[in-house]
Chains A and B, each alone.
Chain A
């Protein structure tokens, strides 16, 4: 009797496990996840699940995409693509940025059901490229469509694996009314002038002169200062580190020394300000209580919702001698890459090329404020006084810096250490030399 029961239990268990493994083989790629969330275009031929046709005008089949853009954004791309290729069915799956997206992508890759197009971003680029999971787009036509600024930011080990059409521009969001009240005129041309401007704002009654975001590596004042200090003169710095000619400490220590001395030790940025949730800091800026904060175009909607009359603009951060000025943000949207395992590469390439059409670019800008940076395209943001200068000097000139896109190894550990050390310099007075040396320790670790 016991044997009988054990047999039944074993059979039931095996059936359960087999059913879990079987479901993927039975379903076409992407179908399983489509049930969770999708923006599949139903107008396309639902039965067409074949490989792409030979001629681009006759493409048919199913294209699957995993992104972290909302269904509305994706629908803009899909509608335009389907106006060009009506016989292609596009299945879009959404996962929230960043961690849930990575989790879902890993699950799909591990179960051999990866979509055709995925996001290749700083957080997963090294693993995807090292695992030979991405199609090399360097010699494809779609790579030629990218502006130099975009190419520069997606270039990884001299190859292109992802396609971008623009992104965000950021820097110092400056309240221009307070700027004038403080007797300030032109944009600061050197780092010293910028610090003087912060001190001038400090003298205004009830005004916080500056708030640095010490919880996010992308949005700190250190990053544009780094770009202005090094990238203008030594753009190959990562290669020098790879070759062993230089260390991260050589580059980061001077930057940390400057910000620690001028921003943290001088009392411009205090422990109290570090304890503000960032949405509160942004709210205070929008209400005119803060002279400048670090921020980017993704903050525009929130600021305008709180105070549509706020007179502000994005300023770049100049280096010490005033020879270069850099901005925050990136040209990394949407960073779509084609999986090497995809059986629909031709359709995927056509989809990527369609992102460069004006309809798609316009849809990006109107829906979510992703600024188009494509040669020959006139962005609607170029008329926006808040970011018009920043677009020309920063985005179009390629003078934007986000450290994660430059780091070549252990990116997430570097990012986490960066945040931790910026906080440590402010809260515990940790020395810039120690903070900078940590990057090399992480980079050189196995």
Chain B
């Protein structure tokens, strides 16, 4: 259908409020952040151009470097982990079961909770020794209590587990909805060809829901790179600064220490990293689709 010139204007005028809001609240701050990253911008001092000084300071800053490392690890582990487990779960959801709806509702429920609230709740569950419920269960089965909040390794694991718990049900529900739209006859053909359950999933289900997997991967990756609430509530960046995330580092340097130049430079670095990672991911996804 060809849209006439006058209609085009009408359609574009409808876009106007969104364009204005997006420009004012997203594009302008983004550009300002980029500009400030080359200045000594802070409260009560004249603005001066400092070149790449903030970028050098940010990349030499242990907090920023460590937080980049942990954030990348978090983004990769949660993106891959949630996607794989959600696919398995979604396929399991398709099996007829009396409690299917209840299972989906229960698994979807964590995504309705505030991330901070979830973090604080899990912090108590993960308390050390016999104080936390999880350690009590481990000890009940003869295991040794785990230092969820005091060991750098287990603190990271604890954060991954909470992130999985929150997003798994949501992603599984999304995949389940896509699986519902797959023509049943394709599975019948696969069955006639002698495909087992894994082969049906690999050759029929996953290729047909691949667009939703790609969307999911992109959302999880960008969400993972911006993570803040869960580690903040669960470990507050500890122990020994091992679970600081990039967003947390920006807040500390910018808001707490008033070093907006370094915080802006860190923000730009994160923006570039996110853009590159998402581009790579989309490219890989296109290849798979092709």
A129–chain B nearest beta-carbon distance, Å: 10
Cβ of A133: which chain B residues have Cβ within 8 Å of it? 43-44
Q: Is the CB of B24 within 8 A of A13?
A: yes
Within the complex, which residue of B28, B43, B129, B151 is in contact with A110, where a contact is CB–CB below 8 Å?
A: B43
A275 interface contact, C-beta 8 A: yes
Q: How far is the CA of A20 from the CA of B12 in the complex (A)?
A: 24
Contact A275 B238 (CB under 8 A): no
| Known contacts A20-B24, A123-B256; A423 and B131 CB within 8 A of each other | no
Contact of B257 (CB < 8 Å), options: A4, A12, A413: A413
Is B49 on the interface with A (CB-CB < 8 A)? no
Q: Compute how far the CA of A271 lies from the CA of B153 in the bound complex, rounded to whole angstroms.
A: 13
B182 at the interface (CB under 8 A from A): no
Given contacts A131-B44, A274-B128, A280-B131, contact A106 B150 (CB under 8 A): no
Q: Which of B40-90 contact A (CB under 8 A)?
A: 42-45, 63
Is B127 positioned at the interface, with any CB of A under 8 Å from its CB?
yes
Task: Tell yes or no: B195 within 8 A of A by CB.
Answer: no
Tell me if B251 is interfacial: C-beta within 8 Å of chain A. Answer: yes
What bracket does the count of chain B residues touching chain A fall in? 35 or more
Contact B149 A277 (CB under 8 A): yes
A392 within 8 A of B: no
Beta-carbon contact of A131 and B256 below 8 Å = no
A130, B258: Cα distance in complex, Å = 12
Q: How far is the CA of A17 from the CA of B44 in the complex (A)?
A: 23
Q: Cβ of A419 and Cβ of B127 under 8 Å apart?
A: no
| A12-B147 in contact (CB<8A) | no
* Nearest Cβ on chain A to B65's Cβ, whole angstroms: 15
Q: Mark B1-33, 1 if CB is under 8 A from A, else 0.
A: 000010011001100100111011000100000
Q: Min CB distance, B63 to chain A, in Å?
A: 8
B136 within 8 A of A: no
A436 to chain B, nearest CB (A): 16
* A155 at interface, CB cutoff 8 A: no
A124, CB-defined interface residue at 8 Å: yes
Out of B23, B28, B42, B238, which one reaches A215, CB within 8 Å? B238
Give the interface centre of B148, B238, B241, B258 by most chain A CB atoms within 10 Å.
B258
Shortest distance between the CB of A420 and any CB in chain B (Å): 5
Say yes or no: is B240 at the interface (Cβ < 8 Å to chain A).
Answer: yes
B218 interface residue (CB < 8 Å to A) = no
Q: Shortest beta-carbon distance, B244 to chain A, in Å?
A: 9
Which residues, 232 to 279 on A, are CB-close (under 8 Å) to B? 271-277
Roughly how many angstroms separate A5 CA and B13 CA in the complex, as a whole number?
Answer: 8
**Do B123 and A277 touch (CB < 8 A)?**
yes
B116: interface (CB < 8 Å): no
A86 CA to B290 CA, complexed, in Å: 77
Given A9-B16, A9-B19, do A275 and B150 touch, yes or no (CB 8 Å)? yes
A17 and B29 CA atoms in complex are apart in Å by: 12
A29 CA to B125 CA, complexed, in Å: 46
> Are A1 and B9 in contact (CB-based, < 8 A)?
yes
How far, in Å, is A275 (CB) from chain B's closest CB? 3
Mostly, the A contact residues are helix
Q: How far is the CA of A17 from the CA of B19 in the complex (A)?
A: 13
Distance between A202 CB and nearest chain B CB, rounded to angstroms: 16
Q: Which residue of B lies closest to A12 (CB)?
A: B20
With beta carbons under 8 angstroms apart, the residue of B44, B129, B150 that contacts A427 is: B150
Q: B256 to chain A: which residues have CB within 8 Å?
A: 98-99, 102, 123, 412
Q: Given the complex, which residues of A lie within 8 Å of B5, measured CB to CB?
A: 1
Q: Give the Cβ gap from B245 to chain A, nearest Cβ, in Å.
A: 15
Complex CA–CA separation, A371 to B256 (angstroms): 27
Q: A131-B43, A412-B257, A423-B239 are in contact. Are A276 and B20 (CB under 8 A)?
A: no
Which residues of the other chain, A, contact B63 by a CB distance below 8 angstroms?
416
Decide if B161 is an interface residue (CB 8 Å cutoff).
Answer: no
Residues on A with beta carbons closer than 8 Å to the beta carbon of B124: 277, 280
A103 to B257, CA, bound (A): 11
- Residues from chain B with a CB closer than 8 A to the CB of A8 are 13, 16
Query: Which partner residue on chain A sits nearest B23 by CB separation?
Result: A13
Is A386's CB within 8 Å of the partner chain B?
A: no
Residues of the A chain whose Cβ atoms lie less than 8 Å from the Cβ of B241: 416, 420
B252 contacts partner chain A, Cβ-Cβ < 8 Å: yes
Most chain B Cβ neighbours within 10 Å, of A20, A106, A272: A272
Q: A130 to B239, alpha carbons, bound, how many Å?
A: 33
CB distance from B25 to the nearest CB of A (A): 9
Residues in A with CB closer than 8 Å to B8 are 1
Q: A13-B24, A215-B238, A427-B152 are in contact. List 8 more A-B contacts (CB 8 A).
A: A12-B16, A13-B20, A123-B256, A131-B42, A131-B45, A133-B44, A275-B151, A416-B241
In the assembled complex, 9 residue pairs joining A and B whose CB atoms fall closer than 8 Å, in A order, are A13-B24, A102-B258, A127-B42, A130-B44, A215-B236, A274-B147, A274-B150, A277-B149, A416-B63
What is B's interface to A at a CB cutoff of 8 Å?
A: 5, 8-9, 12-13, 16, 19-21, 23-24, 28, 42-45, 63, 123-124, 127-129, 131, 145, 147-152, 236, 238-241, 251-252, 255-258
